[in-house]
Chain A
């Protein structure tokens, strides 16, 4: 089966599966899955750029997605005037001080390149600058943070956002994530692949920690609810005549119909983004730039010998891929309508996306999308299927057997096992994934 045929069949199979879910479970569920599939596919595209084009192992996916989600909050939520009055300006002053300190430290570091023979003195002064700067920052910022968080902590207790339409946040999220990626890339990209993996994992952990603990920013673990929407609310739709007619015609309840319409609205937005990204990615892949990236990936030493600035190329890809992740993060938060830092767990995001990329076939954009769809679908459906399977398997046992109870309870964990197994099997027997990279 050629690559192209495989792609068609894969998409076809996905459509069939989704329709099956719609019929057997509910259309609402089917569309929800589809929406998340699209978002996952976008994330997989981003990671695939980094891994497939440049061979970079980014385990910090979660961090970039969270930054994208943060953009959703910062862009769209209304500003909390009281909080700004209480400590806003002082906090900004604190940050200004911090930036100044970093600036001074960087200048000092660069200016003293020639001090290689006096390393101890250089490190000591550097440490002194940073420590004093940090102390000053804390002195200014701590009181500001306390007063901000004291402003009606039950419903706000944070600075709020800019009050702009939430769709802007998609772009802001991408830029913010890309910016952070640039900072990280400068430090970490020189490392060997497995070190890069560990480094990116750790950095994303830090990002999440900051988000969970700095309440003044996005309420930390108290979450931000009620984010503004780019699509209509179900309640409003239910009042519309056309919605009621449609519901009657299709045999749904009005509530159901409105819910599905909302999901379809989101779907169209997401699909639009996916298609645009995909086209851009494919174009890039086939362009001279794409060929150069792959040349570097396949033989870095030779590429460097030919004068290609490998480090800069890697940074480019890292930033672009991470920007895509930020975009997806903003989209996800938009869909959820809320920002919950606690949901950013390594398991959910980072490793699942990696399974998608591996299964789909690294270096292949079609594959990344299909991988995203398939893996997400199975991740969600594994629990009901697992339960059903467990039910069937244990139907022979007596009703109150402890073993039966335990097995039924543990059905949820089989999906972890299955994911791991799938990943290992694909890596072993079909390492190029389901849709191998086409030879160009």
Chain B
């Protein structure tokens, strides 16, 4: 009986907990970027997904170059070391985009809707540019040790019938996400620039009055966002695979995460990311085997016992979004009101 319970738990850990932590981190990083732009620049950036794709693309190109030069790093993926280059180039992208596209609308005090539509145009443009450079197909760029913990080894170690596997990309994602989020929180809470950003986001007029330089705040915001999106985009591509089209469909869960968590709240973005990730997994998971362990023989279910079929995964994040918007529009962590 006890082993059955543990087996069930391991199943859940393997198919829900570990992937959930990974996916939640990826969404959280993406949502953080959305929320930062929303707080400081006060608009929803629809080009966010394509920017992530761009950051990932540059990292991939750099990775390929490094691999072709024989620069590998043993068990660690080369992409990790290509990241800094990806980040720098993406910073160039975001700052250029702001200078050429968004700044004008800030100056004329255009309503947020206009900026949203403009960001859509940018999304088109970037999407085309990325496909132009790297093509629309699936790109694999992972190298190094794939597993930190193999299912087989786990079974041998514990003697259980269910295995727990942890891929290196999963581990890397969670570690990097934790580092990045910690750094961001430290930055926003304890540094002068970070505080000025919070002040600017909270009360723009008073911030200007206090002598805070708006252009500097905007610049730092875009730089941080560039780091976040490159990380999120690359980690996602490393973990699953890189295909330009996927980033368009990631836009919705990422926005959902930001809104569910409370848009404008960094804590909310992370929470939202995990809520969305775990909900998707919980609801589309096939509980058949888990129930098989927990229930007596004759009650074992014959069907897959999914709450919703896997196809509805992305639709689900939207349903959660609508529920949040109806019940508590400021989101879990109470971000800016609508």
In the complex, A touching B (Cβ < 8 A): yes
Q: Which residues of A contact B (CB under 8 A)?
A: 55, 57, 187-188, 191-195, 197-199, 201-203, 205-206, 209-210, 212-213, 346-347, 351, 354-355, 358, 409-410, 413-424, 427-428, 431
**Chain B interface main SS type:** helix
Supply 5 further A-B pairs (C-beta < 8 A) apart from A193-B112, A194-B112, A417-B129.
Answer: A55-B113, A194-B116, A209-B311, A347-B127, A409-B135
Stretch of B3-11, B207-215, B234-242, B312-320 contacting A (4+ beta carbons < 8 Å) = B312-320
Task: Tell me if A427 and B125 are in contact (CB < 8 A).
Answer: no
Give me 15 A-to-B residue pairs in the complex whose CB atoms sit less than 8 angstroms apart, sorted by A's number.
Answer: A55-B113, A187-B326, A191-B338, A192-B338, A193-B116, A201-B252, A205-B252, A205-B318, A213-B309, A213-B311, A409-B135, A413-B131, A414-B128, A423-B121, A427-B114
Task: Tell me if B318 and A424 are in contact (CB < 8 A).
Answer: no
Shortest CB distance A431–B (Å): 8
Check B183 for interface membership: any CB of A closer than 8 A: no
Q: In the assembly, what is the distance between CA of A354 and CA of B124, in Å?
A: 12
Q: Which residues of B contact A (CB under 8 A)?
A: 43-44, 101, 104, 111-114, 116-118, 120-129, 131-133, 135-136, 248, 252, 255-256, 259, 309, 311-312, 314-315, 317-319, 321-322, 325-326, 338
Shortest CB distance B246–A (Å): 13
Q: In the assembly, what is the distance between CA of A156 and CA of B123, in Å?
A: 39
Shortest CB distance A213–B (Å): 5
Shortest CB distance B41–A (Å): 12
Shortest CB distance B100–A (Å): 9
A416-B248 contact in complex given A194-B43, A410-B132, A424-B118, C-beta closer than 8 Å? no
Q: In the assembly, what is the distance between CA of A413 and CA of B44, in Å?
A: 25
Shortest CB distance B60–A (Å): 16
Point out the residue from A188, A199, A201, A421 that lies within 8 Å of B125, measured CB to CB.
Answer: A421
Shortest CB distance A387–B (Å): 13
Note all chain A residues with C-beta closer than 8 A to B321.
198-199, 202
Task: Tell me if B128 and A419 are in contact (CB < 8 A).
Answer: yes
Task: Tell me if A194 and B132 are in contact (CB < 8 A).
Answer: no
Point out the residue from B44, B124, B248 that lies within 8 Å of A420, measured CB to CB.
Answer: B124
Task: Tell me if A209 and B315 are in contact (CB < 8 A).
Answer: yes
Note all chain A residues with C-beta closer than 8 A to B128.
413-420
Note all chain A residues with C-beta closer than 8 A to B121.
355, 420-424, 427
Nearest 6 interchain pairs by C-beta: A416-B128, A420-B125, A420-B124, A202-B318, A423-B121, A417-B128
Q: In the assembly, what is the distance between CA of A96 and CA of B6, in Å?
A: 42
Note all chain B residues with C-beta closer than 8 A to A201.
252
A187-B135 contact in complex given A193-B112, A416-B124, C-beta closer than 8 Å? no
Task: Tell me if B255 and A414 are in contact (CB < 8 A).
Answer: no
**Chain A interface main SS type:** helix
**B120, B123, B256, B317: which has the most chain A beta carbons within 10 Å?**
B120
Point out the residue from A212, A409, A427 that lies within 8 Å of B311, measured CB to CB.
Answer: A212
Task: Tell me if A351 and B44 are in contact (CB < 8 A).
Answer: no
Note all chain B residues with C-beta closer than 8 A to A57.
113, 116-117
Task: Tell me if B312 and A209 are in contact (CB < 8 A).
Answer: yes
Note all chain B residues with C-beta closer than 8 A to A191.
325, 338
Task: Tell me if B44 and A423 are in contact (CB < 8 A).
Answer: no
Q: In the assembly, what is the distance between CA of A201 and CA of B321, in Å?
A: 12
Q: In the assembly, what is the distance between CA of A192 and CA of B118, in Å?
A: 17
Task: Tell me if A202 and B126 are in contact (CB < 8 A).
Answer: no
Task: Tell me if A427 and B122 are in contact (CB < 8 A).
Answer: no
Q: Which residue of A lies closest to B118 (CB)?
A: A427
Task: Tell me if B259 and A195 are in contact (CB < 8 A).
Answer: yes
Q: Which residue of A lies closest to B319 (CB)?
A: A206
Note all chain A residues with C-beta closer than 8 A to B319.
206
Shortest CB distance B294–A (Å): 19
Q: In the assembly, what is the distance between CA of A197 and CA of B43, in Å?
A: 12
Point out the residue from A202, A418, A424 that lies within 8 Å of B322, measured CB to CB.
Answer: A202
**A57, A198, A415, A419: which has the most chain B beta carbons within 10 Å?**
A198
Task: Tell me if B44 and A194 are in contact (CB < 8 A).
Answer: yes
Note all chain B residues with C-beta closer than 8 A to A347.
124, 127, 248
Task: Tell me if B314 and A199 are in contact (CB < 8 A).
Answer: no
Note all chain B residues with C-beta closer than 8 A to A197.
44, 113, 116
Q: Which residue of B lies closest to A57 (CB)?
A: B113
Point out the residue from B116, B132, B318 that lies within 8 Å of A414, measured CB to CB.
Answer: B132
Note all chain B residues with C-beta closer than 8 A to A212.
311
Note all chain A residues with C-beta closer than 8 A to B132.
410, 413-414, 417
Q: In the assembly, what is the distance between CA of A202 and CA of B254, in Å?
A: 12
Task: Tell me if A205 and B314 are in contact (CB < 8 A).
Answer: yes
**B104, B112, B121, B312: which has the most chain A beta carbons within 10 Å?**
B121
A358-B117 contact in complex given A202-B321, A413-B132, A413-B136, C-beta closer than 8 Å? yes
Shortest CB distance A144–B (Å): 15
Point out the residue from B114, B315, B325 that lies within 8 Å of A206, measured CB to CB.
Answer: B315
Q: In the assembly, what is the distance between CA of A104 and CA of B288, in Å?
A: 31
Q: In the assembly, what is the distance between CA of A435 and CA of B268, in Å?
A: 43
Q: In the assembly, what is the distance between CA of A238 and CA of B44, in Å?
A: 55
Q: In the assembly, what is the distance between CA of A203 and CA of B325, in Å?
A: 13
Task: Tell me if A187 and B248 are in contact (CB < 8 A).
Answer: no
Shortest CB distance B110–A (Å): 9
Point out the residue from A193, A199, A206, A423 that lies within 8 Å of B120, measured CB to CB.
Answer: A423
Q: In the assembly, what is the distance between CA of A416 and CA of B121, in Å?
A: 10
Note all chain B residues with C-beta closer than 8 A to A199.
321-322, 325
